[in-house]
Structure 1
Amino acid sequence: MKTGGERGDLSMRAATEKAGRIIRTRVLAISALLRLLAVLLTLFATATPTAQAATPSPSPSPGTQAAYLAQQLRANPVYVTDQLPREIPKSTTPSFTKLAKRTGVPTYVLVLPMGATDGEALLDAVHDRLGKGGLYVLIDDSSVTDATAYGVSAPADDAVTTATYELPYDAGPLRSFERFVDVITEGGAKAAARAQAARDKYDADGEPADLYIGPSDRDNQSFLTGMAITGVPLAMLLLIPYVRRWWRRRPGAPVSLTKRPSNPRRPTRWLLPLAAAATAVAIAATAPHVYDQTTSSASPRPRAIDLNARIDRVVEGLAQDPVYQDAESPRALGRARLAQLHARIEKFSASKGGGPVFMALVPQLYEDESGNDEEYFAYAVHDKLGKDGVYIVADPLDGYINVFNYGLGLDSYGPLYDLPESVTYGDETSDAADDHLLGERLTSVMTALDKTERTDEPTTPGDPYPLTDPITEDELNPLFYGDFWPGLFVGALAAGAVLALVAAALGIVRKSLLRRNPEPLQPSALPTASPAMPTKPYLHDTARTELQALARAFGTGETADTRARNRYDATMLLATDHEALDELAPATLTAVIVLARATRAALSGDDSTLCCGVNPLHGPAKTRRHVRTSSVETRRRMLPLCPVCLDDPHKIPARLLKLPPNGLPYYEDELLSAVPEGFTKLGRKVRETTNVR
């Protein structure tokens, strides 16, 4: 028997259970209603594709792209795209994997084409799909672009900054990732300081110098090498003798008072040619070590499997579905538009004269196996797929559409071959859309395809233009190739040009020196320019000038005849020491001037044997005459006369040479008394005076 309290408890428990049953019943009813509503919505969606197609598809989300990439990272934490074989082949995956293991934290690396990603947004989406913490890194075809740490401590931003600013643009993605990893391993404080230093250096100095040179740079190197190999040795052969000769003959050059040997040793003549030849050989041997670049890019050489990977992937996809969308790129076609395109393709295939249609929504990049050549890409896909039909290549990144017909009978002048640019290249509206409105534009292509008339003869485009060989495209030409050969010729011309410039410069210097060290007067100017009563400084300066001119003209004496050598020897007997010219008497200085001029005249081929007997400084004489040498005396002398004295004999007394310091006529001096008898007698007199036989 239950008490009143127990009955109260039972009644309360019963009420509670009843209320619970009522609530559960209502929840089940609501749940069933929601499931029914979901089923109805699904049926409505699948039953009305046309209505859905009529509404614009929303901008593609990175969900499908992120899901695919997350799936790849789940299999391997480093994923390298197959779309960049010319720049970063897929076979470099082990190299990236090795570097990723150095970070010390779980690292997930995505190497994707530039433009196929949305930076941090893609990394966030991939991380959400993968569901694993770690360092997520995004790399394009040139460098590390983005990095985010999820649940781990890593200076991702500083590492990206350092890799961006420390390396030049052509460093390549692998070297960029290596620098990124180096900074990650340094830790937070050092990484931050290094990033700031890299940024400051970039602001101060600009872009770092390129690591690689291009083909034009190699052409310049070849050209310069060719110029150096011929230009430098030829310049040596031309300039060294020229400058030495100019230096010896320069105005004011010291006079060599010793006779030079007439036959210098033969071996010395070959020193300069041998040195020039050795220089050419040295340049040719050194240039390949100075210009030692062999490639124009950091790109590793792709292998055949790298070049075929994407084509194989696309062909495999088209074998299963006539519309292939690149899984690495954001999806451009929604389900409704995809279903509509499938229907249009089936309709065309079933039509009279129709055939298969294959759509490949794949990026066309300069770094891919086709080198951004849509025609070559379509040709390769058709060749490997082995099926004739219409191949449509649509780029989901830039929105371009290209159509190629392989083996179908379609009018080549029909609408398919005259598509408007708004369909093939897009317009402002499509450029502003994330998906480039590829769905609508591909539908327009199918409409044009339906309208194209059929023909009995199938048409097929010719073979595409040959591509640059991806294996060797980055190889530089050998140094001794191409512009090297024109460089050899230009080097010879340059040597001549340098000689001309040096000659012009030395000519200017010579004029400047002539102001301080004038050249000897020409023989025709001597009668009017030579004084009758010269001072000793005048005689000293004139003797010095004549000796310098004689030294330049006589040289080694190889071309001098006996007459010139005898006169030269007599001159050197008087001028035994260049520094002692100041100590010579005026008569001796006069004899030096006369003999030096006579020697130079003999060297030039002048056969004159006499100088003016009125004033020996007047130069060569023309004939002999009896003349009065004094206005007081009536006595006449037989003297050789220069043309000026011969034309005006009345002025001979005033023109007679009188020597300082007493002003006596020159012929009263014992040495100069032989002057009127000719240069030979004067030379003998010099030898007698100096006791030389």
Structure 2
Amino acid sequence: MTPGAPVAAAALAALVLLGPAAASAAAGPSPAASASATASAPAASASATAPAAGLLPAEASQAERLAAELRKSPVYISADLPRQVPRSLAPAYAEAAERTGVPTYVLVLPDSDRTLLAQVHDRLGTDGLYVLVEKYGGVTVSAFGVDLPAEDAARIANRTVSYDAGPLARFTAFTEKVTQGKDQVAAEARELEQHHDDDPPRAYISSTDRQNQNLLLGLAVVVIPGLLLSLGLWFARRRPLRPGPPARSTGAVRRPAVDLGKKPPVALTKATAKAQLKKGGTKAGTKGGGRPQPAALAPAPLRRSVLVATLLVTVASVFGVVLAAPSVFPQTIDDPDLTVTRADLEARTTEAAAALTADGGIYQDASAPNPLTPEQLAAVRQRMGQLATKTPVFLLFTSSDGDDESAGDSSALLAQVHRQTGRDGVYVQVDPVGGYLQVEEYAAAETDLSSQFRKADLRYPDRDGSYDDLKISERLNTVLDEVAAARPTGDEGYTGDRETLPELRSNKLPPLFSNDFGGGITLGVLLLAVLLLLAWAAVATARAVLRSRRARSAAPAPARPTSTGPRHTATHPSARQLRSWATEDARALAVRLAAVDQDDPRRARAWDCLDAAQLLLGEDGGSDATPSDLAAAVALARAGADTLEDRRGPRLCRLSPLHGIADGGKVPSWFTTVDLGPTSAQLCAECRDLLQLSGVNRYGAADLPARRAETDKRLLRLPDEGGRGTVAWNEEGEVLPAALEGVDALVQWARESASVQ
């Protein structure tokens, strides 16, 4: 670099800052620009786009560089994202932009904000629609001098298009929406705001999803046919043939009974019986010629028709899974189908190489903000000029991530730029956004610059201070100090020839029935075994339960301790009958209670019932007791007897407390319609069964008379005290109505009635 180069570059930067026209005029005759064009001619012929950043000095702002790009084409795609948004998509963006009907300028950048659009508009000086498309498809728009629903259209595109559909898909959706009416677009935007939590569904699947699909196919191709085969074999089995009892070895054979409706069987003679015994009686009928033994079950043959059908269905299910898989899982790509060319991958390195040869060894990426002020950059230029005689330094202000040509490998990026320029020296990459630094030295003889750079810990910014203060200027000056202080090591230098750009990654998904398909088959075999084992256990358990139920139903049921006779069936007993029943039942309960062990838990409840009944009867045996108190004594004695018979319960039968403990469940809901409340009352088992058999539970509300008549058949009625008729048991006396609340309440009321505390 000549000594006057920094002065010429500074003068050119001053002209650029005066305005776009001056910059364009100054860029034409600049010797640096001519040198850039001459040096980059071979590289430009191999690139899809001509180098642009070299036409402006590094002192130009980002907005000025982007405005210069938009003068060439209304669509500018950053060269930093060739694997995400290749520059070869520029015609597709331009075609979509034409649908707006107004001048539309599109910037596809890794990262920026709305303020950049206003700055670019000021530098470009042309009204229209300015659209910023970010790396992952976010659309930001600013309208200058045009009347379009741009803001609402961008909001709709960002909310309705899935993030994995790609930036072009969102931009296309925006251009289609912005041409519609303002009111329609505004209404749609407001509706989307009300459903801000609803994310759009994914447009593509990933390689992991395809692996899961193959795993599922492996499971399906084993489990489904396996289950069908197992079921078919189950239904193909016949019941085992159970042979009849063997014939006796001597004497005449008994002739079987003859069915009058069928042809009588052929009579068995003694000779035929002996022949049968000789043929199979030793194994199945007798043992050692002795007493006949039970014959074993004959094996059951499989039903051939069912077996054949099972095999056909099993094979068809396998073919069905294989043939249906492409329709169920039709996706073949995991990203938008991008055609990334080698020219797309080399666009930025070609652009950077041209700028490094044209602008004194500095490349400022148009997609990235300026990390240095013009004063700081001028100081850096001066130091670079001082180092030029010892070691040329080349600065690249550009970012690097996984979507660039190097797939995030800064060393590969710098090696590619060095290969494009063909100039040895120290190449320094500065990430304007993240603040990362990468230093690579390409020379015939190696120095200790790399080790000094690592020891100084200059690659990453110091996060102890402010997060926004990357201190790029100070760290870059330290790097230049390390370059100046570098000493030769005597080793052969590094040329970077072994560093190559990663190959283009195909976004085609793995085919079906690959990768995890084999693992799915193995897992399917294990799962099928577990399912069959569980099914066998369930069937065995069900059979055991059925056998147990059949055995219980075949065995004679134990006699239930129920009462019979007039005590249980009479609904209109007389006072004499009630007195007789009360004294007999109380005496019987006393006898049974005397035989019960003192530690028996049933004794306390039965004793309370007997004590309450005797208090109601009094010393004269109930001669002066009312019919209501006599009925209460009978109910208490019956409840005590039920307790000793393990028929425990808190309530008595609602229709007649003489029936004892209510073990038949709650009364039907229609009891309240016939004035038999409350709904919490209960019935004895006999009353429940009689009501069920009568059919009144199935009648509707219109059958109220039938229900009332049926309950009157079982409702206990007692003689009233005047002897003029009968009355329902719960409406007579002071003690017996307490039976509605249960046995304990009846005992308490009986004791209180007898003035016993």
User: Quick check: 2:361–2:395 contact (8 Å CA) kept in 1?
Assistant: yes
Find the residue that maps to 2:363 and give its secondary structure: strand
- Over the matched positions of the two proteins, sequence identity in percent amounts to 34
**Structure 2 letter corresponding to 1:76:** S
Aligned to 2:382: 343
For residues 360-383 of structure 1, the C-alpha deviation after alignment (integer angstroms, 9 at most, x for no partner) is 111112211111111111121122
- How far apart, CA to CA, are the structure 2 residues paired with 1:242 and 1:262? 12
Instruction: For residue 113 of structure 1, report the CA deviation from its aligned partner.
Output: 0.9
Match of 2:474 among 408, 415, 440: 440
Structure 1 segment 178-577 matched on structure 2, within 5 A: 178-203=172-197, 206-242=198-234, 266=304, 268-298=306-336, 300-320=338-358, 321-351=360-390, 355-412=391-448, 416-422=452-458, 424-429=460-465, 431-433=467-469, 436-460=470-494, 469-472=503-506, 474-518=507-551
**Structure 2 letter corresponding to 1:300:** L
**Structure 1 letter corresponding to 2:350:** D
Aligned to 2:46: none
Q: Which moved more, 1:297-306 or 1:309-318?
A: 297-306
**Structure 1 letter corresponding to 2:172:** E
Aligned to 1:78: 75
- How far apart, CA to CA, are the structure 2 residues paired with 1:444 and 1:221? 54
Instruction: For residue 423 of structure 1, report the CA deviation from its aligned partner.
Output: 5.4
User: Quick check: 2:228–2:314 contact (8 Å CA) kept in 1?
Assistant: yes
Distance 1:332 1:516, change over 3 A: same
Distance 1:83 1:413, change over 3 A: closer
User: Quick check: 1:391–1:403 contact (8 Å CA) kept in 2?
Assistant: yes
Aligned to 1:97: 94
Distance 1:131 1:287, change over 3 A: same
For residues 641-690 of structure 1, the C-alpha deviation after alignment (integer angstroms, 9 at most, x for no partner) is xxxxxxxxxxxxxxxxxxxxxxxxxxxxxxxxxxxxxxxxxxxxxxxxxx
Instruction: For residue 466 of structure 1, report the CA deviation from its aligned partner.
Output: 7.2
User: Quick check: 1:87–1:299 contact (8 Å CA) kept in 2?
Assistant: no
Find the residue that maps to 2:435 and give its secondary structure: coil
Instruction: For residue 431 of structure 1, report the CA deviation from its aligned partner.
Output: 3.7
| Structure 2 gaps, min length 5 | 1-13, 15-57, 241-261, 263-297, 557-757
- How far apart, CA to CA, are the structure 2 residues paired with 1:66 and 1:328? 9
**Structure 1 letter corresponding to 2:315:** A
- How far apart, CA to CA, are the structure 2 residues paired with 1:403 and 1:202? 46
Query: Are residues 1:120 and 2:156 paired?
Result: no
Instruction: For residue 439 of structure 1, report the CA deviation from its aligned partner.
Output: 2.4
Aligned to 2:166: 172
Distance 1:106 1:342, change over 3 A: closer
- How far apart, CA to CA, are the structure 1 residues paired with 2:133 and 2:393? 35
| Structure 1 gaps, min length 5 | 1-37, 39-60, 250-257, 522-528, 531-693
- How far apart, CA to CA, are the structure 2 residues paired with 1:283 and 1:466? 44
Find the residue that maps to 1:390 and give its secondary structure: strand
Distance 1:479 1:369, change over 3 A: same
- How far apart, CA to CA, are the structure 2 residues paired with 1:465 and 1:224? 41
Instruction: For residue 335 of structure 1, report the CA deviation from its aligned partner.
Output: 3.3
Aligned to 1:617: none
Distance 1:414 1:96, change over 3 A: closer
**Structure 2 letter corresponding to 1:282:** G
For residues 248-287 of structure 1, the C-alpha deviation after alignment (integer angstroms, 9 at most, x for no partner) is 79xxxxxxxx9x9987774542221221111111101111
- How far apart, CA to CA, are the structure 2 residues paired with 1:463 and 1:193? 59
- How far apart, CA to CA, are the structure 1 residues paired with 2:159 and 2:541? 52
- How far apart, CA to CA, are the structure 2 residues paired with 1:430 and 1:422? 17
**Structure 1 letter corresponding to 2:343:** I
- How far apart, CA to CA, are the structure 1 residues paired with 2:466 and 2:494? 30
For residues 208-250 of structure 1, the C-alpha deviation after alignment (integer angstroms, 9 at most, x for no partner) is 221111111111111111111122112221244247759x79x
Aligned to 1:154: 148
Find the residue that maps to 1:295 and give its secondary structure: coil
TM-score w.r.t. length of structure 1: 0.59
Q: How many residues are treated as equivalent by the alignment?
A: 445
Instruction: For residue 463 of structure 1, report the CA deviation from its aligned partner.
Output: 7.0
Instruction: For residue 129 of structure 1, report the CA deviation from its aligned partner.
Output: 1.3
- How far apart, CA to CA, are the structure 1 residues paired with 2:165 and 2:510? 21
**Structure 2 letter corresponding to 1:338:** L
User: Quick check: 1:416–1:449 contact (8 Å CA) kept in 2?
Assistant: no
- How far apart, CA to CA, are the structure 2 residues paired with 1:387 and 1:486? 53
User: Quick check: 2:237–2:301 contact (8 Å CA) kept in 1?
Assistant: no
User: Quick check: 1:357–1:390 contact (8 Å CA) kept in 2?
Assistant: yes
Distance 1:244 1:412, change over 3 A: farther
- How far apart, CA to CA, are the structure 2 residues paired with 1:155 and 1:442? 45
Find the residue that maps to 2:179 and give its secondary structure: helix
Find the residue that maps to 1:288 and give its secondary structure: helix
- How far apart, CA to CA, are the structure 1 residues paired with 2:191 and 2:235? 53
Instruction: For residue 414 of structure 1, report the CA deviation from its aligned partner.
Output: 6.7
Aligned to 1:109: 106
Distance 1:500 1:142, change over 3 A: same
Query: Are residues 1:64 and 2:61 paired?
Result: yes
Instruction: For residue 405 of structure 1, report the CA deviation from its aligned partner.
Output: 1.8
- How far apart, CA to CA, are the structure 2 residues paired with 1:144 and 1:70? 21
Instruction: For residue 207 of structure 1, report the CA deviation from its aligned partner.
Output: 1.8
Find the residue that maps to 2:196 and give its secondary structure: helix
Distance 1:361 1:419, change over 3 A: farther
The two structures, once aligned, show a CA RMSD in angstroms of 3.2
User: Quick check: 2:416–2:499 contact (8 Å CA) kept in 1?
Assistant: no
**Structure 1 letter corresponding to 2:220:** A
Find the residue that maps to 2:61 and give its secondary structure: helix
- How far apart, CA to CA, are the structure 1 residues paired with 2:429 and 2:539? 70
**Structure 1 letter corresponding to 2:473:** G
Distance 1:404 1:411, change over 3 A: same
Find the residue that maps to 1:279 and give its secondary structure: helix
User: Quick check: 2:439–2:450 contact (8 Å CA) kept in 1?
Assistant: no
Find the residue that maps to 1:298 and give its secondary structure: coil
Find the residue that maps to 1:418 and give its secondary structure: helix
For residues 96-130 of structure 1, the C-alpha deviation after alignment (integer angstroms, 9 at most, x for no partner) is 1111111122211111112xx2x221111111111
- How far apart, CA to CA, are the structure 2 residues paired with 1:131 and 1:422? 41
Distance 1:144 1:417, change over 3 A: closer
